[in-house]
């Protein structure tokens, strides 16, 4: 039995890679999971379908710029959460702690250090997040998704690729050319409004928008609006092309499913990390990166037409989740 404590969430970008690894680990050995969640966030909803123990933390991420009064309050909550995490880890006695970044990972990683439990870290983004960078100095292993991330760590890291959680429910088959538009796990007002403009101009195309429950300023026959898509894998495979933000997990999924795509990175992302993630799509010739300021509707339409006329091929790739699961198993069941 592998007893594993896990943290990684708030957004889908951190959550799904962790779940992907646990899914593979379960195939290698029986597992007992304690998952640290953030109160009210996506993982608390998603984990209802899983048979994992959970501990909910009432914490918030630090605002940028880092030096502000509000951050002192938030740090205080994180320090309080440290005590709860310590208590829970002492009770659960995991063989290993695994974190996939985001601020919830920090108190869990620190507690692992205090209790001398081996810590494994997984980073999705090309430019690593603050929590993972800080924790990496004492982690037993660090897995990164892209070669380019190596230079940000002052230690050895293992390049595995980003774990992909395959979520299959149905075999989709669209009659018309279909464009998937997704603004990350929280949606994007910018992409919602772009979906309106595109569906209005390209009437012979079908658009599917994951709105993240954010406002969509139109209704149109050729625009299907969904609050959230549970089975993203089915969509990645079936659509002609996708338009997305530059979240690392979305980018990795597009690469995994060979989905031709246009990435319009979220300009507000910390250290503009979404721009660096997005470049991976261009590097592989899978699509284009367009900055918000250059998002010209005619150019986007031309790119949609070009990408959706490409023949879709799904090459077989090994899921990075398998590699990481094997490393965890080898560490625990030495």
Ligand X SMILES: CC(=O)N[C@H]1[C@@H](OP(=O)(O)OP(=O)(O)OC[C@H]2O[C@@H](n3ccc(=O)[nH]c3=O)[C@H](O)[C@@H]2O)O[C@H](CO)[C@@H](O)[C@@H]1O
The span of 73-81, 248-256, 286-294, 318-326 binding ligand X (CB under 6 A) equals 248-256
70/271 with CB nearer ligand X: 271
Count of positions (residues) in the chain: 334
What is the residue whose two structure tokens read 């009770």? 91
Residues 6+ apart with CB under 8 A from 180: 208, 210, 235, 236, 239, 241, 242, 243, 244, 259
- Per CB under 6 A, the list member of 14, 141, 177, 279 interacting with ligand X is 14
- The CB-of-86 to ligand X minimum distance in angstroms stands at 26
- Per CB under 6 A, the list member of 94, 109, 247, 260 interacting with ligand X is 247
d(CA 172, CA 175): 10
d(CA 204, CA 240): 13
Output the CA torsion sign for 221, 186, 53, 253.
Answer: positive
Is 105 a residue that touches ligand X (CB under 6 A)?
no
Is 4 annotated as a binding-site member? no
Rounded alpha-carbon distances, angstroms, from residue 120 to 132, 166, 267: 10, 22, 30
Is 133 a residue that touches ligand X (CB under 6 A)?
no
Identify the three-state secondary structure at position 204.
coil
Output the CA torsion sign for 105, 107, 110, 116.
Answer: negative
Is 233 annotated as a binding-site member? no
Binding to ligand X, residues 159-198 (CB under 6 A):
182, 184-186
88/236 with CB nearer ligand X: 236
Q: HSE-up of 23 (CA within 13 Å, CB side)?
A: 17
Is 54 annotated as a binding-site member? no
**Residue 130 and residue 104 in contact, taking contact as beta carbons nearer than 8 Å:** no
Beta strands in 186-264 (DSSP E): 205-210, 223-226, 241-244, 261-263
Q: Count of residues binding ligand X (CB under 6 A)?
A: 25
Is 185 annotated as a binding-site member? yes
Binding to ligand X, residues 255-274 (CB under 6 A):
269, 274
- The CB-of-228 to ligand X minimum distance in angstroms stands at 4
- The CB-of-153 to ligand X minimum distance in angstroms stands at 16
Binding to ligand X, residues 222-241 (CB under 6 A):
228-229, 232
Helices 320-332 and 12-28: crossing angle in degrees, nearest 10, is 60
- Per CB under 6 A, the list member of 6, 9, 16, 108 interacting with ligand X is 16
Output the CA torsion sign for 166, 170, 176, 180.
Answer: negative
DSSP state of 164: -
- The CB-of-61 to ligand X minimum distance in angstroms stands at 9
277/280 with CB nearer ligand X: 277
Is 13 annotated as a binding-site member? yes
Is 229 annotated as a binding-site member? yes
- The CB-of-271 to ligand X minimum distance in angstroms stands at 10
- Residues of the shown chain interacting with ligand X in the complex, contacts defined by CB under 6 A: 11-14, 16, 101, 124-125, 182, 184-186, 210, 228-229, 232, 245, 247-250, 253, 269, 274, 277
């Amino acid at each position: 039995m592998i007893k594993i404590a896990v943290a990684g969430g708030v957004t889908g970008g951190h959550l799904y890679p962790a779940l992907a690894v646990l899914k593979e680990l379960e195939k290698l050995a029986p597992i007992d999971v304690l998952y640290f969640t953030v109160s009210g966030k996506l993982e608390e909803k998603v984990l209802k379908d899983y048979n994992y123990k959970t501990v909910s933390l009432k914490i918030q991420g630090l605002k940028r710029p880092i030096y502000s009064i509000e951050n002192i309050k938030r740090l205080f909550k994180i320090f309080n959460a440290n005590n709860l995490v310590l208590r829970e880890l002492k009770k659960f006695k995991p063989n290993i702690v695994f974190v996939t970044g985001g601020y919830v990972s920090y108190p869990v990683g620190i507690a692992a250090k205090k209790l001398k439990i081996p810590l494994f870290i997984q980073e999705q983004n090309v430019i690593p997040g603050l929590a993972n960078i800080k924790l990496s100095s004492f982690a037993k292993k660090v897995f990164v998704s892209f070669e380019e991330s190596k230079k940000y760590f002052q230690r050895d890291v293992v390049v595995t690729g980003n774990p992909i959680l395959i979520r299959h429910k149905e075999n989709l088959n669209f009659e018309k050319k279909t464009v998937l538009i997704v603004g990350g796990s929280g949606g994007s007002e910018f992409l919602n409004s772009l979906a309106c403009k595109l569906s209005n101009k390209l009437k012979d195309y079908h658009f599917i928008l994951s709105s993240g429950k954010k406002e969509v300023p139109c209704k149109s026959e050729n625009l299907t609006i969904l609050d959230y898509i549970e089975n993203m894998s089915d969509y990645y495979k079936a659509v002609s092309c996708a338009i997305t933000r530059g979240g690392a997990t979305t980018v990795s999924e597009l690469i995994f499913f060979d989905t031709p795509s246009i990435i319009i990175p979220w300009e507000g992302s910390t250290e503009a990390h979404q721009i660096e993630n997005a470049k991976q799509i261009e590097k592989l010739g899978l699509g284009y990166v367009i900055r918000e300021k250059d998002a010209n509707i005619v150019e986007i339409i031309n790119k949609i037409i070009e990408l959706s006329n490409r023949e879709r091929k799904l090459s077989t790739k090994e899921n990075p989740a398998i590699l990481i699961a094997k490393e965890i198993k080898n560490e625990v069941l030495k």
